[in-house]
Amino acid sequence: MAQFPEIQALFESNKLWAEKVKETDPELFPTQSKGQAPKILWIGCADSRVPESVIMARKPGEIFVMRNVANQFQAGDDSANALLEYAVGPVGVEHVIVAGHTGCGGCIAAHASPLPTETSSSPLMRFLDPVIRLRHSLGERADVDELIVANVKRNVQNVINSPAMKDAWARAAKGERPPVHIHGWLYNLSTGQLEDLDVSVGAKA
């Protein structure tokens, strides 16, 4: 590892962090080695500037996470569906947060793209396909910020429509699990603050 100082530095800072946690929060590691019970699922963008636990000052074990390009939950994405099924199933998550952010590179790219064709061969452009289509459905005058907000709302809807969420709501209605809610948020890179987009949905009939 010595030939990559930037990689070596990660091991060093990890060691310092673990030592500090052991000192300041001695119960954390013994508790966590027994299991996890986070109440929050964060569906966010992979962007390095939006690390959910850091921006909300949470400890390891508090937030279950899925991050990808432009905070998407796509109906046909097995990885996303598996994660949601696990989160609202065995893990017992009670709040699902879809969080977009200002200056989102995925949305900026989608905003600048023409409507995709069937022949789009790049995985990135295929993954951005729903965002590009959303951008064009908003009309030519819609700016990137409008697309970012619309993309959060669209993906909140995608979570609502998912089989895992319908199952969780059905089980909650029968009292077999606690209620589960979905929220849409926006993180502002220039202030470091989260904004609730007021699209929260609770138990569905």
Active site (catalytic) residues: 45, 47, 49, 101, 104
Instruction: Tell me which stretch binds Zn ion (CB under 5 A): 18-26, 34-42, 43-51, 154-162.
Output: 43-51
Kindly tell me which of 80 and 172 has the beta carbon lying closer to Zn ion. Answer: 80
User: What is the closest distance, in whole angstroms, from the C-beta atom of residue 117 to Zn ion in the complex?
Assistant: 24
List of residues 6+ apart from 24 with CB closer than 8 A: none
User: What is the closest distance, in whole angstroms, from the C-beta atom of residue 169 to Zn ion in the complex?
Assistant: 28
Give CA–CA dist 135/62, Å, rounded: 34
**Pick from 44, 47, 131, 172: which binds Zn ion (CB under 5 A)?**
47
**Pick from 40, 41, 43, 45: which binds Zn ion (CB under 5 A)?**
45
Q: Which of 119, 116, 117, 122 is nearest to 135 (CA)?
A: 116
Of residues 94-153, those binding Zn ion (CB under 5 A): 104, 106
3-state secondary structure of 17: helix
Q: Which of 24, 121, 106, 49 is nearest to 72 (CA)?
A: 106
Kindly tell me which of 104 and 128 has the beta carbon lying closer to Zn ion. Answer: 104
Task: Quote the tokens at residue 1.
Answer: 């590892």
* Known binding-site residue numbers: 45, 47, 101, 104
Give CA–CA dist 54/65, Å, rounded: 13
Task: Quote the tokens at residue 54.
Answer: 């850091």
Of residues 22-41, those binding Zn ion (CB under 5 A): none
The site for Zn ion (CB under 5 A) is made up of 45, 47, 104, 106
